[in-house]
Amino acid sequence: MTLEPCISTTAVEPPLPIGWFSIARSHELECGAVLPVHAFERDLVLYRSESGLAVVHDAYCPHLGAHLGHGGTVAGESIRCPFHGFRFGTDGNCVEIPYCDEIPERTRLRTWPVCEVNGCVMVWYHPEEAAPGWPVPVIEEFQSDAWTEPRLWEFTAPTHVHNLAENTCDPQHFHYVHQQPETPPSTVTIAEDGRVMQLVSNAQPSSNIPEAADLVATVYNPGLATVRTRFSPGAEMLMYNTSQPVSRKETLSRWALTVTNEIEDTVGDAAMQGIMDGIDDDMKIWRHKIHRDKPAFCKGDSDLVTFRKWVRQFYL
């Protein structure tokens, strides 16, 4: 028998996946506000124009490299660099150099595809800058009077965004990590031309969920998912999760939780607390694990195997 050589903990992380990722909540970005953002292992600048458009560019000015997120100012539908006053339109083209009539052609900022859906500013990431391949799903529960105002929560996980998604399709870990008494049967299916993955399960009480429930987790791309939980008819909970891959080793995860009005008092805060405690359990694993490109899967890991086949499409 040969033993595997000691593995480097930094060399094995997968690249960042293709998809839609959040970089802020919409309410955090007022008209005229400029924010520095670190995502996708890059420095970005996010601002809201006077007309209300959320705009994301690479952070560094093509002139002398000032960071537009630190001192840049909004001027109508453009952002002005704090260093020499170059002004860039929402498409990234330089529209004004205050002390020169001629604008050199390469005076441009990379502009990222952005949309605002479900209360978050979402950015499309593709390593080769291809255009968005699908829309962000609109979550109807957030518009409905039958559901409560969403409770918001976020945390930074010391792990790749891949692992947050993989966790959803890992029914076995609920027993060992989240103290769920036994592993409920679950089915993973792939829908919408292979792009959306869904896990249906009968969850037992655990550190994540306060009581038995039917659970449907839907993953649109790694880092963009909903989990719908139905305790009894009319008593339902929705968790919406978007992620900001800060780097291959760090992910900021944004959550919004809403419940049907009738269980607001009994489930709302308890569910939120349960999820927070559950994530704490996951953190202990994430903080120290490595990525296995070829895991030693066993027969009982069929959901994870399906996940690994599905997730390949998000990597080039």
Site residues for Fe ion per CB under 5 A: 167, 282
- Whole-number Å distance between alpha carbons of 226 and 268: 17
Query: Which residue is it, tokens 């690994």?
Result: 308
For the CB of residue 299, give the shortest distance to Fe ion in the complex, in Å: 22
64 forms part of the interface with ligand FES (CB under 6 A): yes
Q: Which class for 294: exposed (0-12), middle (13-18), buried (19 or more C-beta within 10 A)?
A: exposed
Closer Cβ to ligand FES, 64 or 290, answer by number: 64
200 forms part of the interface with ligand FES (CB under 6 A): no
Q: Which stretch binds ligand FES (CB under 6 A): 26-34, 60-68, 115-123, 168-176?
A: 60-68
Count how many Cα atoms sit within 13 Å of the Cα of residue 72 in the half-sphere of its side chain: 33
User: Where in 65-94 is the site for ligand FES (CB under 6 A)?
Assistant: 65-66, 81, 83-84, 86
Could you say which of 63, 108, 173, 175 contacts ligand FES (CB under 6 A)? 63
List the single partner that 161 binds among ligand FES, Fe ion, none, CB under 5 to 8 Å by kind: none
Closer Cβ to ligand FES, 65 or 194, answer by number: 65
Q: How does DSSP classify residue 181?
A: S
| Single-letter amino acid, residue 229 | T
25 forms part of the interface with ligand FES (CB under 6 A): no
Interface mask toward ligand FES for 131-150; x: CB under 6 A: --------------------
Three-class DSSP category at 166? helix
Residues 6+ away with beta carbon under 8 Å from 240: 118, 139, 142, 150, 225, 226, 255, 256, 257, 258
For the CB of residue 90, give the shortest distance to ligand FES in the complex, in Å: 17
Residue nearest to Fe ion (CB): 282
- How many whole angstroms from its chain centre is CA 199? 18
